[in-house]
Amino acid sequence: MESRAKLFGHAVHPIMIVFPLGLLATAVIFDLIWFATGSARWAEVSFWMIAAGLVGGVVAAVFGLIDYVAIPAGTRAKAIGMWHGVGNVLVMVLFFFSWFLRRPNPGNPGLTPIVIALLAAGVALLTGWLGGELVERLGVGVDDGAHLNSPNSLSGRPAAEDELRGEQGHGVRAT
């Protein structure tokens, strides 16, 4: 099932998720460094990384929702997509609460926001696996007819084109 939201021939949602995932995961690492060292700078940077990760997460979610709506009802992909989306909303809510609790003193957030961020990161691992299941096992966001010798996405040609022509000049035949 091809993605409905594309940029230069590629699904936008998987492009956009790298930013919030990286920011939020690194924020958790910086929280752990703050916890180990007591240096306020690590906690302050984590505070701002969470803020940026939340903004990026909202942007990524818009494109994920566009693709989710296009998944046919009654399929395993629709159910997995629903759990992936709901789980990521939970991740965002947890990180928001972690960020909100830090606001009075970002350099010394205390233990509760750190525990909430760790919980959010754990849920994000699960929802990331669900996203992988959608793409890698169920083919959501994958061009129809995609194969190892598909033409460049910028060519404007369908992914199945070379396969249909018998892989001329490639020496490999897709099955």
pLDDT tens, residue by residue, 97-139: 999 999 999 999 999 999 999 999 999 999 999 999 998 888 8
Question: Looking at the domain assignment, is residue 60 inside a domain?
Answer: yes
Check pLDDT > 70 for residue 169: no
Same structural domain, 104 and 167:
no
**Measured in whole angstroms, how far is the alpha carbon of residue 170 from the centre of its chain?**
33
- Supply the pLDDT for residue 171: 47
Beta strands in the chain (DSSP E): 6-7, 10-11
Give me 148's structure tokens. 């190892």
96 with 152, same domain? no
| Whether residue 74 is found in the same domain as residue 159 | no
Number of folded domains that form the chain: 2
Range of the domain at 21: 6-142
- Any domain includes 1: no
